[in-house]
A and B are shown apart, each in its own frame.
Chain A
Amino acid sequence: MDMMMNDESRMLQDLVQRFVERELMPLEAAVLKREAETGSYRLLPEEEAPLLEKCRELGLWGLDVPEEMGGVNLSALDRLMVEEEVSRTITPFEFPPDSPNLHMLKAVATPEQREKYMVPYAEGRMKSCIAISEPGAGGDPAGMITRAVKDGSDWVINGRKIWVSRVPYCDFIILMARTGEGKREEGVTAFIVEKDTPGFIIEREIAMIGGKKTYELVFEDCRVPESQVLGELGRGYAPMQLRLNIRRLQVGARCVGIIGRALEMMIDQANNRATFGVKLADRQAIQWWIADAGIRMHALRLMVQAAARTLDAGGDVRHEASMIKVFATETAQEVLDQAMQCHGAMGMTRELPLQLFYQQVRLMRIYEGPTEVHRMAIARRMLKSRGSRS
């Protein structure tokens, strides 16, 4: 319990906790069954509709949307607290609108783009995704070779993108492409490409672990007008980075929620299950799993909160975001592994959420930058700046 939390944050947490407990948790058994039997890890429309209705009623809508667009514009601290709470359940649900590109649009969209894309996006009437990785450039997006070439007043895009989420539900995608020469991130520009633009082809669906799907995209002489350039020409990398930093803190908050759930399940199991006449709770191996999980969950939550406060104060959290991404995913992976072990054969079933969490966290160690790339970046910064505080 956080004594420093103000009244509004505490009540918001209470509201979200109740929503998760009473609306989302009861759907878990059906979600797990469906995922195990059909591979589909999505809510049915009849399950989702009442949840969206409830969110509208409760004002849990547009949490990170700017106030001038009718949103709540929560602080990063509160937004991440909400993220932690909603991550405790395996039921796939995000508070609408699903808005990962909002921060990037907010930073660089022109007034026309705000009107045409950002407003409907913020209101939940449009969906979008972002295409960064390529078959030859993943953890190092600076190696991308998808190219946009100016032709009259248009841009003609050719190339290939991969590991893009949510493509079939999206009304537009943000596409990163090279528009000029330059090392690493120089010369990379962001474009808004609407679905059904000729030459924008969904090549194939790729089934991932953790119930997720991603898509490979091909751009074949895909022609878009100048008005689709998002932000400055050749400088698309920095706003994209801004988006990624927030995503990485979200990964941290999600892992706190997941660890909390796994820990709770492990504690219940330890208190109830006896082997050879001794309760698991009385065995040191299990006690240490529980103690270590508790210690690390606390540390991780503080890391996320500290970074959120820095972000709210206008600071740069690139370094902290990397640290959080590494620590969160590795810790969650280990705690989930122990929670599954603690449940024995039951932990291996697809009836418990643990295995699906486990797969999802495994995935998190890759997306938004693999662990090793983050470690490399952390070390590089530290080696270059000996004597600075962090």
Chain B
Amino acid sequence: MKLLVPVKRVVDYNVKVRVKADGTGVETANVKMSMNPFDEIAVEEAVRLKEKGTVTEIVAVTIGPAQAQEQLRTALAMGADRAILVEAEGAEPLGVAKVLKALVEREQPQLVILGKQAIDDDMNATGQMLAALLGWSQGTYASKVELSADGAKVTREVDGGLETVQLKLPAIVTTDLRLNEPRYASLPNIMKARKKPLETLKAADLGVDLTPRLTVVKVEEPPKRQAGVKVGSVSELVSKLKTEAKVI
């Protein structure tokens, strides 16, 4: 079974994100970039499925700038077999989903595993849009995936508990935090990744129009948290909640 794993290049989770002075976005110049952590979980799951023998080939893909091949190399070092970079700047979830649809039609995978969302814009949309465009079943927020030849049993993290769904293949799975703990790419595998194939395409090669449909009005930092106060008694707390915070 062939598996497609889309990954995204994002600002590293350790970096304190700064808003650009002109409010058009966040600063990415000279900032450490990494693979979206949820996508890392997706790659790990794909590699585990391959190790179990149900999957025979893993294709990692990304839609992003030329430098996004770094993240594809990381996916290859973790265990993906080959990679495809579709060069495009600032694509929106719908555009990305359209590119992925075109790649799915080209590659014919049985399963697409991707992060539930990217930690940069937290859109949480690409997987669902791709499922809609393809008319495939979807299991989002997966915390457990059991794959067989004809279907996938996906445990989902939902409000108040776990929900288990049985998907018919082909299908889309989006990963949640607790699905697995991604491995470190070992040094020998890092060296081997260099020799694995990485293909570069343009969105136009796939016949996809990535013209933005959304306009970013403004990006701003969240308001600074005010310092708290200590209260002396319950009655003082209640009165402050009534008169100052005005929440009761």
User: CB within 8 Å of B: which residues of A?
Assistant: 1, 7-8, 10-12, 14-15, 18-19, 57-60, 72
Contact = CB atoms under 8 A, between A and B. Distances in A.
A1 B31 CA distance: 7
Nearest to A22: B184
B82 interface: no
What's the dominant secondary structure at chain B's contact region? helix
B21 to A, nearest CB: 19
B30 interface: yes
A58 B32 contact: no
B190 A12 contact: yes
Given A1-B30, A7-B70, A18 B184 contact: yes
A12 B184 CA distance: 10
A15 B184 contact: yes
A10 B186 contact: no
Q: Give the most central of A1, A18, A60: most B CB within 10 Å.
A: A1
A272 to B, nearest CB: 13
Contact of A15 (B30, B34, B70, B190): B190
25 contacts: A1-B31, A7-B69, A7-B73, A7-B193, A7-B194, A8-B191, A8-B193, A8-B194, A11-B73, A11-B77, A11-B185, A11-B190, A11-B193, A12-B190, A14-B34, A14-B185, A15-B185, A15-B186, A15-B187, A18-B184, A58-B184, A58-B186, A59-B188, A59-B189, A60-B187
B74 A59 contact: no
Q: Give the most central of A11, A12, A14: most B CB within 10 Å.
A: A11
Interface of B: 30-32, 34, 69-70, 73-74, 77, 184-191, 193-194
- Pick the 6 closest A-B CB pairs, nearest first: A59-B187, A59-B188, A58-B186, A7-B73, A11-B190, A59-B186
Q: Give the most central of B30, B77, B184, B188: most A CB within 10 Å.
A: B184
A36 B74 CA distance: 41
Contacts of B193: 7-8, 11
A24 B185 CA distance: 18
A15 B69 CA distance: 17
A58 B193 CA distance: 14
Contacts of A58: 184, 186-187
Contacts of A19: 184
B194 A72 contact: no
Contacts of A10: 70
Contacts of A7: 69-70, 73, 193-194
A11 B73 CA distance: 8
